[in-house]
A and B are shown apart, each in its own frame.
Chain A
Amino acid sequence: MLNVVREVQIPLLAALLIGGCAAKGRRAITERSIEAGTGPTATFPLRLHRPVAIAMCASEFALGIGLLVTAGRFGASPLAMAVRVATALLFCTAVGALHELRARRPDAGCGCFGELSDTPVSWRTITRAALLCAAALASIGVRPLHMPGSPGIAAVVITVTAAELAVLAALSPEVGELMARLSHAEPCELRRVPVARTLTALRASSPWRRYSPYLISVTPSDVWREGCWRFVVFPGVLASRRVDVVFAVYLTGRRAPVRAGVLDVDSAPPLHAPIPVPLQISNHV
């Protein structure tokens, strides 16, 4: 059982190292800067940011590939031992660097997985690095890997892998960020909605048909937005008095709700008592 636990560490560590390098590379490409999302490089002098960032990424990639290449028949060779010791050293150094980063730049993320790692370094991130350091130490001296000999052993391997991944996920703030990106559905408050579309929805609404006979101009005197609602005001005449007719148009949905109110131009109280509906963020109507 213990041997199975130790053997599982090698592919897991390799996957994490290569994944971390790929995420850093992706960020460097999208932001056109190798230093973007610096992480522990922020603790170095400016002139060293770039070389340190490149060295970090390159060492992660080299160790990840090295772990995979030396996992099989070269598993008992000195090269495999060297790669695993170097991996353990990398993660032990990471524990210290993250602790230092947290003390000196409490606002900075670890940058471990590129733009997913913008959350400030916390005890979770440091514990994860410590756990990976322990995993790398455990992998030293593991015999060459081979396919499981029986379904029972395969089940143990899968169980151990799943358990360790669950622990790592619990220690990774990146998981929450990733989930948010995968299940993306933008709230209406954040959507850009052209005024013309608002006016189309208004024109098709029953409040418009009810109040349009009282308008003296179809040119809005004011248009503004508050979250999911856009307000459109028109000058009008009602009962021989100058009024402002205001429409509130909800900015999402196929048949967007529209509400209307009338306000005397010169006096404060509304002429028509409105329906007391609270105006809230993400108010579903």
Chain B
Amino acid sequence: MRWKEHFCAGYGDMPDLPIYVRHERRALLRAAVFGTRGREAGPASANSVLTGVVTGVSEHSLAVHGEAGEQVISLTQGTVTWLGARATPSALRPGDRVIIRHRPWRMGAGSHAPAVAERIWARIGRVTGTIVAAEGRAEHEFLVDTGLPGRALERVVVAGASLKQIQVRFPRLSAGYLIDVIGTRHQGYLLAVAPATAQPPYRAGHRPAPPLISGRLADPVSGTAVWHESGDEPAGLLGLAYPALDPETDGLSDGRAQDQACVRLPYLSLGSTVRVRNECTDRALVLPVTSRGVTARQFCDRCVECGTSPRGRVADLTMAAFVELGGNLEDGCFNATVALAH
């Protein structure tokens, strides 16, 4: 038994490598065993998404400072802007954090022509988690635990004009129940303007037992893809929080139980790659698992963007990945399938 103790003790001390270093190395090691390198493209890079901070706005263009420096994006009459609701690009102000889905300028306009913005989301944010406390006058302010270790409680303020709309989908705005709202980011809080889903009828941690699966697991697995804010991750990261990480090797550091999500997914590890397909736009990307889908496991909801998806969240995408796959952030979800990528 001594060798086994040595194995496990040593593994516990393994250095925590950056996710991309880990992914690249693991892909090579997997190929060394199975010879699968090249059968599937590596993780995708963003082709149509730009994230950054607005540095200037004019009638026909928008200057954005992103990871690649200053970039200018053309605005057209077809550009859709979201700033808590539909707005015109003139509503944007320098300093606004934006995420933009763009397309190349039409053919013949020259290779140096700036890309054209299709959709712009400004100061958009989302809080998903368990209500810890309701406070403030008329109890329209909430503290929410997003379930991520080391992350502070999120403060959510419900905009007065949106209260009824949110209460229709989230009738139990009290401690212990789940909340998932979309809104605009302000200093230290999220101003919620719309529900991202319907509230589960159960209290947090009391979701129904996951369905039993017999025989072979469906491949791919269908369900709902949602998005989360970047937090500590780079803003333009293409990746996903996966709801079924191997509890033996990727369990939560605080030792909390990490049982299966509402939808049964194959166990994977941080750095594994999955192919995510947006069933509504028929766009697919190979994405690395970059974080734990802690809150995604709590929801047994469906997405009705294009037909009704099976119950449960199969992927909690980064904002950039969600937009790159053709999703609209204010919708909150799209019907998706997830498969192992090799």
Q: Which residues on A are within 8 Å of B, measured CB to CB?
A: 30-33, 35-38, 46, 105-107, 115, 118, 120, 177, 180-181, 183-187, 189-190, 192-196, 199-200, 203, 217-228, 230-231, 233, 244, 246-248, 259-263, 268, 270-282
- Which one, B26-34, B182-190, B225-233, B280-288, is touching chain A? B26-34
4 more A-B contacts (CB under 8 A) besides A194-B248, A273-B35? A118-B208, A184-B212, A189-B266, A222-B26
A270 to B33, CA, bound (A): 9
Q: Is there contact, CB below 8 Å, between B36 and A246?
A: no
B33 touches A186 (CB 8 A): no
B15 to chain A: closest CB distance in Å? 9
The answer to whether B268 touches A231, judged by C-beta atoms less than 8 angstroms apart, is no
Number of B residues near A (Cβ < 8 Å) is: 61
Residues of chain A lying within 8 A (CB to CB) of residue B213: 180, 184, 186-187, 190
Question: Which residues from B are CB-within-8-Å of A275?
Answer: 35
| Interchain CA distance A223-B213 in the complex, whole Å | 26
Name the residue of chain B whose CB is nearest to the CB of A32. Answer: B206
Contact B34 A259 (CB under 8 A): yes
Binding site for A on B (CB under 8 A): 3-4, 6-11, 14, 22, 25-26, 28-36, 39, 171-172, 198, 201-202, 206, 208-209, 211-217, 219, 246-250, 260, 264, 266-272, 301-304, 308, 311, 339-340, 342
Q: Of all chain B residues, which has the CB nearest A179?
A: B214
Question: Do the beta carbons of A281 and B340 come within 8 Å of each other?
Answer: yes
A31 near B32: Cβ-Cβ < 8 Å: no
Which residues does chain A contribute within 8 Å of B311, judged by CB atoms? 107, 118
Tell me how many residue pairs across A and B have CB atoms closer than 8 Å. 197
How far apart sit A119 and B49, CA to CA, in the bound complex (Å)?
Answer: 36
Report B-chain residues with C-beta under 8 Å of the C-beta of A217: 10
Q: A225-B268, A226-B268, A281-B219 are in contact. Are A46 and B172 (CB under 8 A)?
A: yes
Chain B binding surface, main DSSP class: loop
Closest to A27 in B: B208
Question: DSSP class of A's interface residues: helix, strand, loop or mixed?
Answer: loop
Closest to A121 in B: B308
Cβ-defined contact, A231 with B7, below 8 A: no
Instruction: Kindly list chain B residues whose C-beta atoms are within 8 Å of the C-beta of A186.
Output: 212-214
21 pairs of residues in contact across A and B, judged by CB atoms under 8 Å:
A32-B206, A35-B201, A38-B201, A187-B216, A189-B266, A192-B247, A203-B3, A218-B6, A219-B6, A219-B9, A222-B14, A226-B268, A230-B246, A247-B33, A261-B32, A270-B32, A272-B32, A278-B34, A279-B342, A281-B216, A282-B216
Q: Are B34 and A274 in contact (CB under 8 A)?
A: yes
